[in-house]
Amino acid sequence: MARDNQDFMDALEVIAREKGLAVETLLESLANALVAAYKRMPGAADEAYVEIDPESGEIHVFGQELDEDGNVLREWEDTPKDFGRIAAQTAKQVMLQKIRDAEREQKYEEYAGREGDVVTGIVSQCDSRFTLLDLGKIEAIMPHAECPPNERYSVGQRLKAYIVEVRRSIKGPQIVVSRTHPGLVKRLFELEVPEIASGVVEIKAVAREPGHRSKISVWSNDGAVDPVGACVGSRGSRVRMVTNELMGEKIDIVPFSEDIVEYVERGIQPAYAIEVRVGEDGTALVVVPDDQLSLAIGREGQNARLAARLTGLRIDIRSESEVVAGLAEARGTEGDDEGKE
């Protein structure tokens, strides 16, 4: 019996080592399973607990008599003679389940709190509802709404994605990832630009229309470092890596400014602003040359929308001639009012 117990402990240690679990965790689970097995035997005490010697593997069952308040009145050893055989049969499935539970918890703990990180995975399944990414020990789910409209994936394709949520489920931890989140752009630049990773350069804001265009504003904490140049890289190498990962999404990089007028001017680039008027109500009127109006607004209003998200203002873009005409009309109205008086 002693030899069997030792063999059992050796096997338990092997399992714990292979699964990355604590032997104590497995012994506790086994003890609970053995209590349940004992209570199913004829003549078993109503209350009992099991002790397993972590060195020898010897198993002892102790019966208890409790009063109404749960205090122990009497305790005695009640280990059945053939309990080793019964324990082995009963505990096997329970132990496997506990191991699976522990592995799930371990995986959850590995990813819990990692919302906002970027992971790299291999596409294992994709359809109209979601895409599954194999992260190695676990799969992540990317709902259709988190996939940019222009991206199409194939099984075996390698992708980077942004973790938006880590939640527990019956089948284990569920990791929800996204390729539309603005945070993905920020994280990709952190991976490609050492100055951002070290904190010398900061990304102040990100505005994104996934699959089409993004604008980011950057700031340098070192006057000797050009934040835009650091993000662009030699011959555009750094920004090109981010663009390639985003499957061709265009990226505008503009220097951040604490001067809101200057910031808006930079935000509507590549268009040039003649004048910017910022109101106290969070609006900004941007006047641009006539030939720059379409460029400032962008295709289907995209440039104007991204500039507004980047700066946090409601932006109204007008052409120079439109503003002049409006002023002339306003003066004419004032003149008519004066004539009536």
341 located within any domain: no
pLDDT at position 37: 85
Q: Which residue has the tokens 């409790």?
A: 66
pLDDT at position 32: 87
Q: Domain total for the chain?
A: 4
**Same domain as 7, residue 107:** yes
- Which of 150, 95, 157, 98 lies closest to 125 in space, CA to CA? 157
- List the CATH number of the domain containing 62: 3.30.1480.10
**Same domain as 93, residue 8:** yes
**Same domain as 328, residue 272:** yes
**Same domain as 142, residue 90:** no
- List the CATH number of the domain containing 141: 2.40.50.140
Show the domain range for 163.
118-178
Q: Which residue has the tokens 């191991």?
A: 99
**Same domain as 50, residue 10:** yes
Q: What span, in angstroms and rounded, lies between the C-alpha atoms of 303 and 206?
A: 13
Q: What is the pTM of this model?
A: 0.72
What is the rounded end-to-end Cα distance, in angstroms, of the chain?
116
Domain boundary among 163, 178, 193: 178
- List the CATH number of the domain containing 249: 3.30.300.20
Domain boundary among 59, 76, 111: 111
Tokens of 317: 């873009």
**Same domain as 242, residue 269:** no
Instruction: Count CA within 13 A, CB hemisphere, residue 23.
Output: 13
10-residue mean pLDDT series, the chain (341 residues): 66 77 82 88 90 84 91 92 75 73 81 90 92 91 93 94 90 90 96 95 96 96 95 95 95 95 95 93 93 94 96 94 75 52 49
What is Dmax (Cα atoms) for the chain? 117
pLDDT at position 120: 95
pLDDT at position 269: 92
pLDDT at position 109: 83
**Same domain as 83, residue 10:** yes
